[in-house]
Amino acid sequence: MAQLSIKQEGTVTLNNVAHKVTSNRVVDVSQVYQTEFTCETGNDRKVLPLDKGAYGWGNLQFASITNLDSTNFLLLTIFVNSSTTDSYIFLKIPAGKTFVLGSNQAYTDQSSPASLADISNVWLKADTASVQAKIFMAY
């Protein structure tokens, strides 16, 4: 068992007023997975490696997906396996940006936000041209 320390910080001065936001989190983890790969257009690529077994999305403590391309964006699809309605969440990861997950749960029903469901699959696809992506997952 090890501890993963996650720190996010942002600062900006707008209209001569300085603004700062900081977030610190420490979580216990027993497994990490990190890789870089190419995402193609037209083909969704499943993010979770099949050989992780029990370390699937259910035990996720932290994940980041980074688009390493300087021009093209990635399309991210998240499947939420709900007992009431299975749903998909679609997001864009712009060139050079990172998407972060700090939990394995989400909800897609605005009428019942307390009914969190497990994220069971995540896919990536390049939009215009092949894109290099980097994934870091901690369980």
Nearest of 102, 100, 75 to residue 89 by alpha carbon: 75
Nearest of 24, 22, 23, 27 to residue 138 by alpha carbon: 27
pLDDT at site 54: 55
CA atoms within 13 A on the CB side of 20: 3
Number of domains, the chain: 1
Angstrom CA distances, 6 to 34, 63, 100, stand at: 16, 11, 11
Q: Is residue 13 part of a domain?
A: no
Q: Which CATH number is 128's domain given?
A: 2.60.120.10
The overall average pLDDT reported for the chain is 85
Domain assignment of residue 120, given as a range: 29-138
Q: How far is Cα 91 from Cα 65, in angstroms, rounded to an integer?
A: 12
* pLDDT digits 0-9 by tens, 27-81: 999 888 899 999 999 888 887 654 455 555 667 888 899 999 999 999 999 888 7
Q: Is residue 63 part of a domain?
A: yes
Q: Is residue 19 part of a domain?
A: no
Q: Which amino acid is at 79?
A: F
Q: How far is Cα 85 from Cα 76, in angstroms, rounded to an integer?
A: 20
Q: Is residue 23 part of a domain?
A: no
Phi, psi at residue 6, to the nearest 5°?
-120, 125
C-beta of residue 66 within 8 angstroms of C-beta of residue 133: yes
pLDDT at site 93: 97
pTM: 0.82
Q: Is residue 22 part of a domain?
A: no
